[in-house]
Amino acid sequence: MTESSSFQRVLPVADLPAGAKKPLSIDGRPLLLCNANGKLHAIANVCSHNEKPLERGRVGNGWIACPTHGARFDLVTGKAMCLPATQPIAVYDVRVVDDWIEVAVPV
């Protein structure tokens, strides 16, 4: 079964400057917006290793590292890059419309 998704308006672009992260909850789903290296990313705000939040994690060149045990995830694909995580995290499409960030979340 394929999940469908629709874009939801979540945050003014101005509220997410370069290098910033912003945790959000959409329909009870914890998300993390990142403005990293000139790109916007929306990822699950939950580490796939032991379900701790990622929002205090370091963002590098295309990755975020869980602050609890150090699992790293690719910001574009969600793929786990190192132990102790082996499973990916969810990533969501992002777009900017009328100076607002919109995220495609499953419906």
- Return residues touching other proteins (CB under 8 A): 37, 49-50, 56-58, 60-63, 65-72, 81-84
Nearest residue (CB) to other proteins, 66 versus 91: 66
Separation CA 36–CA 29 (nearest Å): 22
Nearest residue (CB) to other proteins, 45 versus 103: 45
Smallest distance, other proteins to C-beta of residue 32, A: 15
Smallest distance, other proteins to C-beta of residue 84, A: 4
CA 45, distance to chain mean position in Å, is: 6
Smallest distance, other proteins to C-beta of residue 88, A: 16
**Cis (ω within 30 of 0) for the bond into 84?**
yes
How many CA atoms lie less than 13 Å away from 94 in the CB half-sphere?
A: 23
Separation CA 64–CA 61 (nearest Å): 9
Nearest residue (CB) to other proteins, 83 versus 96: 83
